[in-house]
Amino acid sequence: MDDGVLIVTAVPAEADAVRAGLVGDAVTVEPVGVGPAAAAAGTARLIALAEAAGRPYRAVLSAGIGGGFPGLAPVGSIVVATRSVAADLGAESPDGFLTLDELGFGATSAPADPALLEILRSGLPHAVTGAVLTLGTVTGTTATTLALLARHPDAVAEAMEGYGVAVAAAGAGLPFAELRAVSNPIGPRDRSAWRIGDAFAALTAAATVLGKELAG
């Protein structure tokens, strides 16, 4: 028996925003914790529990709010990830940051499943598309912002869970995608510029559309 799609968020407030836009029970929404480690562990647990219950998921999405790179993903916009990148997984060196790929220890980029990506793009034609960076530390300076864009020119947003969810989905052989609503511009930390309410509203609106698409 197929239990449909699993959408994981970091915190309960994000899960509530997604659920507010959904109708029916074809999509399951659960918060799994903040950061890539909690996201990977929590997602893997939910997948395993569903499989043990005989109701395996057919796809996994990471969803929630995040930061948008200025000029690329404005506050209040929806971002659909073409890939989720573990942007701070690697090593520093005198010549600059070395990714896990460059060190020869594995991959730091998880491409979105093509079929899921097409569903998200079709259902949300006005969404910004590009790489979403997964970071253990939220960016708070201009220097870090510029450094991240230099390493990942296709990046449009950042969050803290996408890559972790992608790893769990890949381990279970499930297609993966990531969706973000932009709550703040990436750069010097300024809480007065955050619009979390607007981001939650955008997340609910997106879920209203996607619930119908994903139920098919």
List of the chain residues with pLDDT < 70: 1-3, 215-216
pTM of the model: 0.93
Closest CA to 110 of 55, 49, 40, 32: 40
Q: Spell out the domains of the chain, with CATH numbers in brackets.
A: 5-214 (3.40.50.1580)
pLDDT number for residue 216: 60
pLDDT number for residue 3: 62
CB 53 within 8 A of CB 125: no
Four-residue CA torsion sign, 149, 153, 155, 161: negative
User: What pLDDT, in 10s, does the model give residues 56-92?
Assistant: 999 999 999 999 999 999 999 999 999 999 999 989 8
Beta strands in 69-136 (DSSP E): 78-86, 90-91, 98-99, 109-111, 128-134
User: What pLDDT, in 10s, does the model give residues 30-64?
Assistant: 999 999 999 999 999 999 999 999 999 999 999 99
Which residues are CB-contacts of 25 (< 8 A; sequence separation ≥ 6)? Answer: 4
Angle at 165 between CA 162 and CA 110, to 5 degrees: 65
13-19: long-range pairs with CB below 8 Å, 24+: 13/200, 14/63, 14/64, 14/65, 14/200, 14/203, 17/181, 17/200, 17/201, 17/203, 17/204, 17/207, 18/63, 18/203, 18/204, 18/207, 19/207
Alpha-carbon distance of 2 to 9, in angstroms, equals 21
pLDDT number for residue 2: 47
**Radius of gyration, alpha carbons of the chain:** 16
